[in-house]
Amino acid sequence: MGKKFKKALTFCYGKSRDCVEIIFQSPASNQLRLQKKSDGRFGSYIQLKKYQKRLRKTALRVFLALIFVFVGIIVGPAIFVPEREAEIYIPSGKGDILISNVSKSQASVVFKTLDSANGNKPLATVADVEVFSDSQLQKFLKKIEAREYAVTHIVPLDGLEEGKTYYLKIKASEDKNMENSKEVNSWGGSDPIKFLAMGDVAPVCPTPIFASETKKDNSVGEMDMTGEKISSSLEESGIFLASSVKSEDDGKMRIFAVENENYLHGREKVQTIISWETNLPGDCVLIYRDEENGKENEVKSSSGMMEKHMVVLTTLKPGTVYYFKVKSQGKSGEIAVSDEYSLRTPRAKDTMLEMVGNNFKSLVRQIGF
């Protein structure tokens, strides 16, 4: 087998060398070739010249074709930048996935879908919400399909039983058959998405006041969306729950209008701006953690006591999910803590070389190799 391969390689090399020699031969070299060669291919100088002419035309066409392909691969990505395929991202902090209108028999699930492959732009998808009666999501109860494309999904849950705790799994897809769906079943990557069906119909709540936080040994248990027990328990410790909208000034510290913006500089440097407001002057503290390691980091601002707050982070990694919450303390010592939100930093764009490689791979696949 090795000898045959070597023989074939030698034959190909010889033929290629012979063609190259003929293409670049001068008339004088052609005359010498006719005198020295005895393979019988060329009976006259005219025959050799015609063969040389055909060979040169063929070589020129192949060379031009390769040049056009190369230029197309190089210049194409610069002119026609291929849009990345969408990658569904469902923000999953407690301030992102909301459980509202909770009563003894119904509730509403509110969430949004973004495209993390294209700068976290809004992405219209269809969605499913599956309801379970256990935290391991083994006892399936029902599935609610929201098959109309939307960015912000409001999915109603009916037929609930008072006093029962329900656990949710959220799925979103660009395909109505729910192929290649993205699913989320926990707040902040750890706490299951759940709620307790009880009470009268409650007004729409801007943030899910549904937590199991502890502060100064004051535990906060499960509660309906009115949050009366939760608020009173925290207020005894000088801590007040945050809201997404500015409430009436009752003398208590409140957080609202929590927002984040992400910018990618180059390929590795991410700048994230997180801002929020308080109804009373307070200090500025940001607490954030990486989805992978879960270690909390705290950043304090030296801006002093203000009502509008902002923290700028430059240490985040691109293409990574982070969870964050904000905290402010007023002059009299009262503390307001927001719900936890999530953000996904933008991914680095492909370099020109990577775009050329991707285009070439795509071209090869289309040809069928």
Q: Rounded mean pLDDT of 321-331? A: 92
Q: What pLDDT does residue 173 have?
A: 95
Q: Is the torsion defined by CA of 45, 50, 53, 55 positive or negative?
A: negative
Domain termination site, one of 79, 102, 132: 79
For residues 256 and 246, what is the distance between their CA atoms, to the nearest angstrom? 6
One domain for residues 312 and 246: yes
Q: What pLDDT does residue 351 have?
A: 66
Buried b (16+ CB within 10 A) or exposed e, 24-53: ebeeeebeebeeeeeeeebeeeeebeeebe
Residue 220 has pLDDT above 50, yes or no: no
One domain for residues 292 and 310: yes
- 299 is a domain residue: yes
The first and second tokens of residue 23, run together, are 């293409």
Phi and psi torsions of 321, nearest 5°? -95, 130
CATH number of the domain where residue 146 is located: 2.60.40.380
Q: What pLDDT does residue 366 have?
A: 56
Helix (H, G, I), strand (E, B) or coil at 168: strand
What confidence tens digit (pLDDT) does each residue in 178-205 have? 998 999 999 988 889 999 998 765 444 4
For residues 69 and 75, what is the distance between their CA atoms, to the nearest angstrom? 10
Residue 71 has pLDDT above 80, yes or no: no
What confidence tens digit (pLDDT) does each residue in 354-364 have? 666 666 666 56
Residue 239 has pLDDT above 90, yes or no: no
One domain for residues 92 and 168: yes
One domain for residues 113 and 197: yes
**Three-state SS sequence of 25-67:** CCHHHHHHHHHHCCCCCCCCHHHHHHHHHHHHHHHHHHHHHHH
pTM: 0.64
Q: What pLDDT does residue 168 have?
A: 96
Q: What pLDDT does residue 82 have?
A: 56
Name the more confident of 309 and 83. Answer: 309
What confidence tens digit (pLDDT) does each residue in 145-186 have? 988 999 999 999 999 999 999 999 999 999 999 998 999 999
Q: What pLDDT does residue 54 have?
A: 85
User: Could you tell me which residues come within 8 angstroms of residue 347 by beta carbon, excluding any fewer than 6 positions away?
Assistant: 116, 117, 264, 318, 319
What percent of the chain is predicted at pLDDT more than 70? 72
Name the more confident of 234 and 70. Answer: 70
Q: What pLDDT does residue 152 have?
A: 94
One domain for residues 68 and 92: no
- 199 is a domain residue: yes
Name the more confident of 205 and 264. Answer: 264
What's the burial of 299, exposed, middle or buried (CB within 10 Å: 0-12/13-18/19+)?
Answer: middle
The first and second tokens of residue 359, run together, are 């285009």
- 219 is a domain residue: no
For residues 240 and 253, what is the distance between their CA atoms, to the nearest angstrom? 7
For residues 67 and 149, what is the distance between their CA atoms, to the nearest angstrom? 45
What percent of the chain is predicted at pLDDT more than 90? 37
For residues 216 and 210, what is the distance between their CA atoms, to the nearest angstrom? 18
Name the more confident of 349 and 57. Answer: 57
Q: What pLDDT does residue 127 have?
A: 95
Domain termination site, one of 24, 52, 79: 79
Q: Rounded mean pLDDT of 246-273? A: 81
Q: What pLDDT does residue 209 have?
A: 33
One domain for residues 69 and 54: yes
One domain for residues 312 and 204: no
User: Could you tell me which residues come within 8 angstroms of residue 36 by beta carbon, excluding any fewer than 6 positions away?
Assistant: none
CB-based contacts of 360-365 (< 8 A; 24+ apart in sequence): 360/73, 363/73
Fill in the amino acid letter for 200. D
Of 12-16, 162-166, 170-174, 254-258, which gets the smallest average pLDDT?
12-16
Most confident of 34-38, 125-129, 209-213, 345-349: 125-129
One domain for residues 205 and 172: yes
Helix (H, G, I), strand (E, B) or coil at 110: strand
The tally of domains found in the chain comes to 3
Residue 277 has pLDDT above 70, yes or no: yes
Q: Rounded mean pLDDT of 109-117? A: 93
For residues 327 and 309, what is the distance between their CA atoms, to the nearest angstrom? 10
pLDDT-derived band at 120, boundaries 50, 70, 90: confident
* Beta carbons of 95 and 207 less than 8 angstroms apart: yes
Kindly report the average pLDDT of the chain as a whole number: 78
| Closest among 234, 194, 192 to 213, alpha carbons compared | 234
Q: What pLDDT does residue 69 have?
A: 78
One domain for residues 89 and 205: yes
One domain for residues 8 and 99: no
Decide the pairing of beta strands 335-337 and 239-241.
parallel
Q: What pLDDT does residue 81 have?
A: 56
- 306 is a domain residue: yes
Ranges of H-type helices in the chain: 2-23, 27-36, 45-79, 228-235, 352-367
Domain that holds residue 106: 84-210
Residue 55 to residues 15, 38, 46, 356: CA-CA distances in angstroms?
13, 20, 14, 31
Q: What pLDDT does residue 118 have?
A: 84
- 14 is a domain residue: yes
One domain for residues 177 and 134: yes
pLDDT-derived band at 365, boundaries 50, 70, 90: low
Of 23-37, 205-219, 252-266, 328-342, which gets the smallest average pLDDT?
205-219
CATH number of the domain where residue 304 is located: 2.60.40.10
One domain for residues 75 and 98: no
What confidence tens digit (pLDDT) does each residue in 87-102 have? 999 999 999 999 998 9
